[in-house]
Structure 1
Amino acid sequence: MSQFFIHRPVFAWVIALFIILFGCISIPKLPISRYPSVAPPTVSIMATYPGASPKEMNDGVLSLIEGELSNVKNLMYFESSADNSGSASITATFKPGTDSDLAQVDVQNQLKAVESRLPQVVRQSGLSVESATSNFLMIVGLKSDDNRFDEIALNDYLARNIVDELRRIEGVGRVQSFGAEKAMRIWIDPSKLNSLGLTMNDVSQAITQQNTQIAPGSIGAAPTVLGQRVTVPLTVQGQLTSVEEFSNIILRANNNGSKVVLSDVARVEIGSQSYGYLNRENGKTATAAAIQLTPGANAVKTADAVQKRLAELSQSLPAGMTYSIPFNTAPFVKVSINKVVHTLVEAMVLVFFVMFLFLQNIRYTLIPAIVAPIALLGTFTVMLLTGFSINVLTMFGMVLAIGIIVDDAIVVVENVERLMSEKGLSPKEATSKAMKEITGAIIGITLVLTAVFIPMAFASDSVGAIYKQFTLSMAVSILFSAFLALTLTPALCATLLKPVNANHHEQTRFAKWFNRGFNRMNNRYESQVNVLVNRKGRMMLVFVFLCAILVLVYRQLPSSFLPEEDQGYFITNIQLPADATTVRTLDVVKKFEQHALSRPAIESTMTVIGFGFSGSGTNTAQSFTTLKDWETRNDTSTLDELKLAEEAMADVTEGTVMHMLPPSIDELGTSSDITFFLQDRGNQGYEALKAAEAKMLELANNSKSLSDAYSDGLPAGTSIHLDIDRQKAEALGVSFTNISETLSTAIGSLYINDFPNKGRMQQVIMQADASSRMQIEDVLKLYVRNINGGMVPLSEIVTPIWSESAPQFIRFQGYPAVRISGSAASGVSSGEAMAEIEKMAKQLPSGFTIAWTGQALQELHSAKQAPMLMALSMFVVFLVLAALYESWAIPLSVMLVVPLGLLGAVLAIVVRDMPNDVFFKVGMITVIGLSAKNAILIVEFAKQLREQGNGLVQSAVQAAKLRLRPILMTSLAFGLGVMPLMLAEGASAETQRAIGTGVFGGMVSATLLAIYFVPAFFVFVMSIQERLKSWQQTNKKSPMQLEG
């Protein structure tokens, strides 16, 4: 093939230009994200039951729905939660690769089967099924700097004009509004109600009857009588539209002509549909809505679309109202990608510098400089065709590939230059001869470097998605590089290069100095290799010793999943005792805001009181604190600010304040903490579960491997159990239905129906006025009507009992559970911390067990797959080499060098005190291919020399000497190309260091050790093979020869 393109260089350029064209078209079309969709898809079910306790939600709603989830296909696990806010959720997690849309439809179908068994209030309030990631992409909101609009007005405008618009944006899975639109609120005065002999049920029935839609039809509508010439529609005001009209609803008409209207017993206003949240942006009242992505959505594209749509909608905002985006995770994605692109450019510059250093000719350097970008552009085209995105994984693959894709071009150019210099050949003749010599080596190297990544395609779960993204970009880049090395590179060599003489490198003083020094080094190297090869037995003993060190050190490496990055924000969770009101929670929030806003590195803080990832309630708050841009912080990291916040809030005694970094991958949880569920599989009850939780927390907080272990849920609190004397109620003629309806309406709330308000249907909600439901005595003063029409106070039939209760019910896989989170102690990896937690779990009482979820579960899967993947990669490379060389011995001499490369990778991360995480594992598999590559360059030439009749030792030594220059050149180019990763700073620096350090260390050892060990391996293996062949030939002599 190469000979064809040497004589047809225009043809080679045409192919290259097509690759450039398709690559340039593909790049703008590729989606951009920090990570690809690596998390298993999830579907969430949300239910609302105003006034219901967590137990009632759990027993009457969640347990029924969970019973149907077993019929859902590809379900991996599910968890559910219900709290005192009257809301509940079930999150179903599916196997990786499951279509999230189909999963959502499947869940909706199962939900319909059980919907009729759910309480009417739950069905009336609505059940929602959404497919969205667990973390927030961004928080948007409205504010009024001049206080022209209060929070109710801001929330109503947000619900009417903003939320639905955002939901329609591609990539938005859920818009969770921390606020509610307006509603007609009927605030009942129970004492006035009782004095007039009315009940809550009387009021709700009157509103239902007098606020209803009517369709009166038309006069003269078909069928008509003969001669009817006109049809006229009739209109009747059925639904009420104003506070005044609702206030005049007639509750009772007296015999004397007087009447009782709603305003006689209630305060009517247009208020908020709910009062569960209080939002604050930088210490001021605001409103907010959190945007969550659909699984697999493009974060950057979605965030840009949201910002664009908000800018368009802002043109219609009333005067005095502005929109804001106080929290946005997309900038970190953009900065991360830009950083990696910057690293890619740095790597290319360093690689081309090394080429010029060794080749010492601008024309020789220009050829690899032309070929490398074309190979990368071809990779972008394949990425578009396979549905991949531009993310840190694919870009990391390209950064590593830079040092590899120039190798093929360097090998070609260096060999052409050597033949022109030594043989005096013309560029075309030298290129033709060079390609005959090195085509096999190029094909072999390419097959090895691509084959090493094949096993990664079989990895599953989130780890598999990470491996596939990384390896595709590397493998495709390498394949394009090899293709161009056999097509465009020889065409360029034949046309661009000029004939040279043997002394062409001696033209400059630096060139003379460099080449003399390199030749002296090469001669010494030849002598050293000659000595070592003749002592191959000792070399093999040293090799075994180094392998033992590798195994010993690797086993001691702390394990982890992904490095924690400075993503530019941290999360604060505030929890007060279960009986705390919003006022008490707000006091703690203000203390945190005072600290955060005083810090020069902090840009903004957004707090939602009443919401928390662990559960909702008036005693909870969640803050999202965003730092300024990485370049303007004066080396202050997010972790530094988090620790300062911990110190500032350490003296808070009213509750617990936890500060957390976000997870490495947003889709795998809401924080970087290690999270697991403690399950009560023996159904031993709430008290036993809390006792097991207390024991687990005690063990965790006394362990040196863990730090800040805590119950990731709402704290236990007091409740008042209303003990209804059913026999006495029956004797007094009071039905249980009347009692329950009175309580749920007065203390909870009752959604009656809707009314039209400025073009939007909004709810009519009835509830006792605030002053009538603050104390238990207020509850006992409520009245119910008996069958005789008399009024009976609840105090006659209800006894309040104070008790401790669960403010939240959590279930995992259908079993009662509690969620526990914590972090690894300083100097301890997450893998070590998880191993310690599993040891602690064995000390729990029988019937209790732990279950991993989120990022921790994926880390376990990663740790289990890595050894198999590395072993499989080595085996695949061995098989490819065996097929290529039609030999079992030659591949063995190549594969023996792999442990030497892995040793350098392991020692490098030990020196830098880094864990064995996913990126290091990817790096190790890369090192396997790179180690084999260097060995192939020597073994390929040694094999050719041996076949030409040279001695075994002479062949190995001569091959090592001839290939030292390209080996050092390609290795130095690759090493310098990786160095920007290893020394990265700023955004995404931890991830770059994680992959760069191991690969750089592996490349160093695979080069410095391989150039001495590979000749010895070749001689050792081939001598055994030749002895075996000789022995076989001796034993296969014919009987005639044996008789002779």
Structure 2
Amino acid sequence: MARVELGGESYDMTTRLNGHPAAGVGVMLAPGANALATATLVKNKVEEYRHSMPEGYEVAYALDSTDFIKISVEDVVITLIEAIALVVVVMYLFLQNIRATLIPALAVPVVLLGTFGVLALCGYTINTLTLFAMVLAIGLLVDDAIVVVENVERIMHDEGLPAREATEKSMKEISGALVAIALVLSAVFLPMAFFAGSTGVIYRQFSITIIAAMTFSVVVALTLTPALCGMLLRPTSPHRKGFFGGFNRFYAATERQYRHKVVSTLRRPLIMVSLYAAMGVVLFVMFTRLPGSFLPTEDQGSIMLQATLPAGATASRTEAVNQQIVDWFLTEEKQNIDVVFTINGFNFSGAAQNAGMAFIKLKNWDQRPGSENSAEAIAGRATYALASIRDAQIFALTPPSVPGLGQNNGFTYELLASGGTTREQLGNLRDQLLQSAAQSPELLGVRANILPQTPQLQVDIDTSKAVALGLQLDDVTDTLTSAWGGAYINDFIDRGRVKRVYVQGDGQYRSSPSDLDKWYIRNSEGTMTPFSAFASTRWTMGPESLNRYNGSASYEIQGQNAEGFSSGDAMNTIERLANELPAGTTGAWSGLSLQEKQAGGQSTTLYAISILVVFLCLAALYESWSVPFSVPVSGAARRAGYRAGGGTARIKQRYLLPGGVADHGRTHLQKRDTDHRICGGCGFVGEVR
């Protein structure tokens, strides 16, 4: 009746590691789980089983995203320490007093400790976003303490007051400015916490971290710093010798030249107004023209290759192509490669015999120095070299910036059918779009993420004949499925493990279309009826799968931006090319591209709100509608610097820009306001002299 044997549940896919047979196990994080903690638990469990494995078996990690997380956190921690050290050195260079330098330096650990408390209260972790926010905040949080120390020292020097009285007078003068900077910076960074979608999830921690640090900085500047000033500061001589004397003379000469330039400019108000207007125009142009992107592409220590063979290619041909990929990496990129893990029968386009995939784990970053050994550079060389394999179309890809949002870096565009467009017509329009994209200098590697149509054997059942022969249609389909495709029956216990039982026709009875005639079905009268009595077969071409997006027939178009262009440029180009197609299609974005589009739409509104609130805070502080207009001028220079450096306007940069501008502008305006009160309203031109 049957042959019973133990075998694999499925033979659709096979895997190899560095060319050797392997069994791959993927581990995905549950919602809310910590990647580093999960990876540690998994590796500990694997080590427990390693000793009980049969001889000749080894365990290797073909892909481990936590390596990149660890190195990223370590780099940011080092940067944080360096930032603190540099801030202390710069403070000592200008304050030139150990006691005065110690006061702002003591504010740093206090503020960081309070910020960590807020993060713990919010349920956040120490990650690259929160640490980066602290790196940025280091320079800002000591600024408040420096303002207090400098003003106290000025009063002690100019008015001869002791430290305690000088501190009391100083706090009466500058407390308003300290509170103002907290309000201004909160207005700049708070909108980031209200971003919707993935952008909000990504940058909410950054926003809350920097706002918490700024708030604690002001609290420390209003409480701890004045107390330390009253206890530690002593009168010092303004005359310095040696290195500090030379530095002070150089700085004084530079300051005199600067004041002279300012006076000359103020005596020509028309020129000043014209320059201000020009800077405003430059700021607007740079804001609108600077290429946009969502997140930077980083070297995550791994790359991926997707191979697609012609329709109808067998599994053995796919395995041969994957072996060529392995051989190339282990030969040409041996110094950069740790592990090559290949999959036969699957890639991001779908599961089929003609689909192949490779995951390449690179060596540690310090073992492959130089930009020529980065993941992106290796992927570029692989794409160029493996294009010589005529049996397959091969693309080398880098992992997405945010795991789970898309399959790889680059854009993902959905070409949708509309207005009664058939799938065949949509396929023709897809080909037109790909041809246009191949000629565009902004785009690279544009492709349809779908497997080619393959030969398919279609079984046509004459239902009228089947019913006339006394057959039930359910019996027909069940027999066809079980005999040719296999059917799950039940479970059994094998050496303490539950395994499944499948029934399927033997290979010799389902190896060709004519074998269908060898199968019979019992009718209602108990007579065996052959399939040939009511069914026929024919060969057709068809897709492995049919994609739909929001209920519409679709084709997913993937690609990257060419060198010298941003992801925003590439997305605008593919949209323009899609709009030039004949009527019958619409478009949509998915993955990281969708998040970039949504973030771009939100950022303009939130950016405008930030600027408005900053302006109102400064206007209220200085009781003037005109004074705050001087704050955003430096934004034009910063924006132009991004453009000149080949940078792009990412979400993070858009909000760091007004934060830095507002902070420095506030400092200059507070200095001007304080000097104005001291000289009794002598006028700004008189002050700068």
TM category (shorter chain) comes to over 0.9
Rounded to whole Å, the distance in 2 between the matches of 1:732 and 1:715 is: 39
Q: Deviations over 1:302-321 (max 9, x none)?
A: 22222223223435445554
1:555 aligns with: 288
2:480 aligns with: 743
Deviates more, 1:930-939 or 1:688-697: 930-939
Closer/same/farther in 2, CA of residues 327 and 458 from structure 1, 3 Å limit: closer
**1:402 equivalent among 135, 138, 148:** 138
**2:22 equivalent among 257, 262, 286:** 286
Is 1:621 aligned to residue 352 of structure 2? no
2:490 aligns with: 753
Q: Deviations over 1:725-771 (max 9, x none)?
A: 33444455544344322211111001122222223332211111223
Contact between 1:683 and 1:815, CA under 8 Å: does it hold in 2? no
Rounded to whole Å, the distance in 1 between the matches of 2:260 and 2:526 is: 115
Shift, 1:332, TM fit:
0.2
Task: Give the partner amino acid of 2:231.
Answer: T
Rounded to whole Å, the distance in 1 between the matches of 2:413 and 2:403 is: 17
**1:438 equivalent among 167, 171, 174:** 174
Shift, 1:336, TM fit:
0.8
Shift, 1:628, TM fit:
0.4
Shift, 1:956, TM fit:
4.5
Is 1:909 aligned to residue 642 of structure 2? yes
**2:66 equivalent among 324, 330, 338:** 330
Contact between 2:178 and 2:218, CA under 8 Å: does it hold in 1? yes
1:268 aligns with: 4
Task: Give the partner amino acid of 2:300.
Answer: Q
Contact between 2:631 and 2:666, CA under 8 Å: does it hold in 1? no
Contact between 1:683 and 1:816, CA under 8 Å: does it hold in 2? no
Closer/same/farther in 2, CA of residues 311 and 936 from structure 1, 3 Å limit: farther
2:33 aligns with: 297
Shift, 1:701, TM fit:
1.8
Shift, 1:376, TM fit:
1.5
- SS at structure 1 position matched to 2:137: helix
- Structure 2: state its 5+ residue gaps: none
Shift, 1:618, TM fit:
2.1
Q: What TM-score, normalized to structure 1?
A: 0.63
Rounded to whole Å, the distance in 1 between the matches of 2:201 and 2:4 is: 56
Deviates more, 1:443-452 or 1:469-478: 443-452
Closer/same/farther in 2, CA of residues 448 and 268 from structure 1, 3 Å limit: same
**1:606 equivalent among 341, 355, 360:** 341
Q: Deviations over 1:640-661 (max 9, x none)?
A: 2112211331122222211111
Is 1:799 aligned to residue 533 of structure 2? no
Give the 5 Å matches for 1:898-977. Answer: 898=632, 900-945=633-678, 949-953=680-684, 956-957=687-688
- SS at structure 2 position matched to 1:808: coil
**1:894 equivalent among 628, 643, 654:** 628
Q: Deviations over 1:954-1004 (max 9, x none)?
A: 56527xxxxxxxxxxxxxxxxxxxxxxxxxxxxxxxxxxxxxxxxxxxxxx
Identical-residue share of aligned pairs (%): 38
Rounded to whole Å, the distance in 2 between the matches of 1:464 and 1:895 is: 30
Contact between 2:352 and 2:544, CA under 8 Å: does it hold in 1? no
- SS at structure 1 position matched to 2:291: coil
Deviates more, 1:275-284 or 1:519-528: 519-528
Is 1:544 aligned to residue 277 of structure 2? yes
Contact between 2:301 and 2:362, CA under 8 Å: does it hold in 1? yes
Contact between 1:943 and 1:955, CA under 8 Å: does it hold in 2? no
Contact between 2:293 and 2:649, CA under 8 Å: does it hold in 1? yes
Contact between 2:189 and 2:655, CA under 8 Å: does it hold in 1? no
**2:518 equivalent among 781, 803, 811:** 781
Closer/same/farther in 2, CA of residues 727 and 866 from structure 1, 3 Å limit: closer
1:484 aligns with: 220
2:151 aligns with: 415
Rounded to whole Å, the distance in 2 between the matches of 1:332 and 1:309 is: 21
Task: Give the partner amino acid of 2:82.
Answer: E
Contact between 1:673 and 1:821, CA under 8 Å: does it hold in 2? yes
Rounded to whole Å, the distance in 1 between the matches of 2:353 and 2:436 is: 30
Contact between 1:570 and 1:625, CA under 8 Å: does it hold in 2? yes
Rounded to whole Å, the distance in 2 between the matches of 1:807 and 1:472 is: 47
2:317 aligns with: 584
Shift, 1:710, TM fit:
0.9
Rounded to whole Å, the distance in 2 between the matches of 1:516 and 1:273 is: 82
1:101 aligns with: none
Shift, 1:589, TM fit:
0.5
Rounded to whole Å, the distance in 2 between the matches of 1:454 and 1:956 is: 36
Task: Give the partner amino acid of 2:247.
Answer: F
Shift, 1:469, TM fit:
2.1
**1:467 equivalent among 188, 196, 203:** 203
Rounded to whole Å, the distance in 2 between the matches of 1:925 and 1:530 is: 27
Contact between 1:467 and 1:922, CA under 8 Å: does it hold in 2? no
Rounded to whole Å, the distance in 2 between the matches of 1:473 and 1:734 is: 71
Contact between 2:286 and 2:639, CA under 8 Å: does it hold in 1? yes
1:509 aligns with: 242
Aligned residues between the structures: 685
- Structure 1: state its 5+ residue gaps: 1-261, 959-1044
Contact between 1:448 and 1:932, CA under 8 Å: does it hold in 2? no
Task: Give the partner amino acid of 2:306.
Answer: N
RMSD: 2.2
- SS at structure 2 position matched to 1:720: strand
Q: What TM-score, normalized to structure 2?
A: 0.94
1:637 aligns with: 374
Task: Give the partner amino acid of 1:740.
Answer: T
Contact between 1:550 and 1:902, CA under 8 Å: does it hold in 2? yes
Contact between 2:148 and 2:171, CA under 8 Å: does it hold in 1? yes
Deviates more, 1:800-809 or 1:545-554: 545-554
1:831 aligns with: 568
Rounded to whole Å, the distance in 2 between the matches of 1:888 and 1:575 is: 66
Contact between 1:428 and 1:495, CA under 8 Å: does it hold in 2? yes
Contact between 2:299 and 2:375, CA under 8 Å: does it hold in 1? yes
1:381 aligns with: 117
Q: Deviations over 1:126-172 (max 9, x none)?
A: xxxxxxxxxxxxxxxxxxxxxxxxxxxxxxxxxxxxxxxxxxxxxxx
Rounded to whole Å, the distance in 2 between the matches of 1:867 and 1:764 is: 59
2:617 aligns with: 880
